[in-house]
Amino acid sequence: MLHTVNKSSFERNSLQSCLNTIDNTSVILLIEDGVISAANNANSPMLADLASQGRVYALKGDVDARGISSKVADNIQLVDYAGFVDLVVEHGTPVSWV
């Protein structure tokens, strides 16, 4: 299942709630302000294990818009809108965490 998180983990607990409910086949796509969690910061450990499994993505346009391209944590994969569509096709309708 595809889970999208669009809020910063500094603003809301959406990412933590998502992480508490996902199974071992789920992937996370960080979008909008959710991409702040892709940067190496205090919240990076929350995503480290999933990212090392190749299960965390961030929308490149949103990363670029926030000026954090050089700060994205290792193993978080950047995708464009076509990549977003590919994730939906592969994993089904996304569950949105707001």
Of 51, 26, 29, 78, the residue nearest 14 (C-alpha): 29
Digit-by-digit pLDDT tens for the chain (98 residues) are: 999 999 988 889 999 999 999 999 999 999 999 999 999 776 677 888 899 999 999 999 999 999 999 999 889 999 999 999 999 999 998 999 98
Q: What domain range is 36 assigned to?
A: 2-97
Domains held by the chain: number: 1
In the chain, count of helices (H) and strands (E)? Answer: 4, 5
pLDDT at 43: 67
Instruction: Read off the CATH number of the domain in which 69 is found.
Output: 3.40.1260.10
